[in-house]
């Protein structure tokens, strides 16, 4: 599943090629995604300009005229493909790169002048939803925690949310009601650089550690975005360039390899927390 940096890269790709363009047709081949696509979606967005494209958590949001919105969530395997009318230039806008457009699982076609955007999703855990007001869009996200880049993600917020929490900090970082957008890869990296054991209970996180989480969350995610995301499964951007943040991993997917911290001779170990692979250095991340 893509995490915040990968969805941010998709957003940036779409802004360059799709923002301010008009949808001239919509072809729905399969409505049966995680949530069934409404039958009249085409009529609601036909001939409308995409005035803005932004990201909330791991969601891509297209804004049309009159405060209408379309959410795209990629689930486990969803991808977007930009295809020019001559069919000679095929560009994957998403995080699992393929050289050619897949022949199967192309569920939705958004048609523009001179090109089309295709939503492909083999596992169909993603979804596409339409909202006709800001209020309805906000209601959809009402139970989500702040994005790590939002001002509301601050010391006061974390102190309040961590108070009396028996859940471990790793699971809290993955809880979208607590913080939205962070997934397993970046939770591992954030906790390593913060020198916090992932099994440490939320209520035991010190003020010093809270400051570390705040600072390092932004730092790790920003670095991943600048590196073009993590090509765990061949993620490439709209220019076909691989994300390279996986080369920077300190712990994720580095089981039995040497810790990268100075003056540390330990090796990275792998444990499971709530059925999620968790990578730690027992020396640097003591409980």
Band of residue 104 on the pLDDT scale cut at 50, 70, 90: confident
Query: Is it the case that residue 218 has pLDDT exceeding 60?
Result: yes
**Distant-in-sequence, close-in-space partners of 216: CB < 8 Å, separation ≥ 6:** 190, 193, 194
The dotted CATH code for 155-280 is: 1.10.8.50
Residue tagged 């897949």 (tokens): 102
Share of the chain above pLDDT 70, in %: 88
pLDDT digits over 16-49, tens only?
A: 889 999 999 999 999 999 999 999 999 999 999 9
- Among residues 106, 74, 87, the alpha carbon closest in space to that of 3 is found at 74
20, 62, 232, 209 alpha-carbon torsion, rounded to 10°: 120
Give the residue with greater pLDDT, 233 vs 146: 146
Radius of gyration of the chain (CA): 20
Distance between CA atoms of residues 273 and 179, nearest Å: 18
Band of residue 90 on the pLDDT scale cut at 50, 70, 90: low
- Among residues 145, 108, 148, the alpha carbon closest in space to that of 124 is found at 108
Distance of CA 222 to CAs 187, 215, 254, Å?
14, 11, 21
In the chain, CATH 3.20.190.10 sits at: 4-140
Q: Please report the pLDDT score of residue 85 as a whole number.
A: 76
Q: Please report the pLDDT score of residue 54 as a whole number.
A: 94
Chain centre distance of CA 275? 20
Rounded to two decimals, the pTM is 0.87
**Which of the residues are catalytic?**
2-3, 58, 276
pLDDT digits over 47-88, tens only?
A: 999 999 999 999 999 999 889 999 999 998 888 988 887 665
In the chain, CATH 1.10.8.50 sits at: 155-280
Distance between CA atoms of residues 61 and 13, nearest Å: 13
Q: Please report the pLDDT score of residue 97 as a whole number.
A: 58
Band of residue 93 on the pLDDT scale cut at 50, 70, 90: confident
Looking at CATH, the fold of the domain delimited by 4-140 is given as N-terminal domain of MutM-like DNA repair proteins (3.20.190)
Query: Is it the case that residue 164 has pLDDT exceeding 50?
Result: yes
- Among residues 43, 35, 100, 42, the alpha carbon closest in space to that of 73 is found at 35
pLDDT digits over 110-153, tens only?
A: 999 999 999 999 999 999 999 999 999 999 999 999 999 999 99
- Among residues 176, 167, 122, the alpha carbon closest in space to that of 146 is found at 176
Phi, psi of 265 (to 5 degrees): -105, 10
Q: Please report the pLDDT score of residue 255 as a whole number.
A: 96
Distance of CA 132 to CAs 44, 45, 70, 126, 249, Å?
9, 10, 9, 20, 41
Paired tokens of 117: 């955007």
How high does pLDDT run on average in the chain? 89
**Distant-in-sequence, close-in-space partners of 257: CB < 8 Å, separation ≥ 6:** 267, 268
Band of residue 242 on the pLDDT scale cut at 50, 70, 90: very low
Distance between CA atoms of residues 42 and 70, nearest Å: 12
Contact 91/98 with Cβ under 8 angstroms? no
């Amino acid at each position: 599943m893509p995490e915040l940096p990968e969805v941010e890269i998709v957003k940036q790709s779409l802004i360059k090629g799709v923002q301010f363009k008009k949808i001239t047709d919509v072809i729905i081949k399969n409505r049966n995604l995680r949530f069934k696509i409404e039958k009249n979606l085409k009529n609601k967005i036909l001939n409308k300009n995409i005035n803005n494209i932004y990201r909330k958590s791991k969601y891509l949001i297209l804004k049309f005229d009159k405060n209408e919105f379309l959410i795209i969530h990629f689930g486990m395997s969803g991808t977007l493909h930009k295809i020019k009318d001559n069919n000679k230039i095929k560009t994957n806008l998403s995080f699992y790169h393929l050289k050619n457009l897949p022949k199967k699982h192309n569920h939705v076609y958004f048609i523009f002048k001179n090109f089309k955007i295709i939503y492909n999703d083999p596992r169909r855990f993603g979804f596409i939803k339409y909202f006709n007001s800001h209020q309805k869009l906000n209601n959809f996200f009402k139970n989500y925690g702040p994005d790590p880049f939002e001002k509301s993600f601050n010391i006061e917020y974390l102190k309040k949310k961590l108070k009396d929490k028996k859940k471990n900090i790793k699971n809290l970082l993955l809880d979208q009601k607590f913080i939205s957008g962070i997934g397993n890869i970046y939770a591992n990296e954030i906790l390593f650089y913060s020198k916090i054991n992932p099994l440490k209970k939320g209520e035991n996180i010190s003020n010093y550690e809270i400051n570390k989480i705040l600072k390092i969350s932004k730092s790790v995610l920003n670095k991943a975005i600048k590196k073009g995301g993590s090509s765990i499964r061949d993620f490439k951007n709209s220019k076909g360039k691989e994300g390279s943040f996986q080369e920077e991993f300190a712990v994720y997917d580095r089981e039995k390899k040497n810790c990268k911290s100075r003056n540390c001779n330990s090796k990275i170990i792998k444990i499971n927390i709530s059925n999620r692979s968790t990578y730690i250095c027992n020396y640097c991340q003591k409980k």
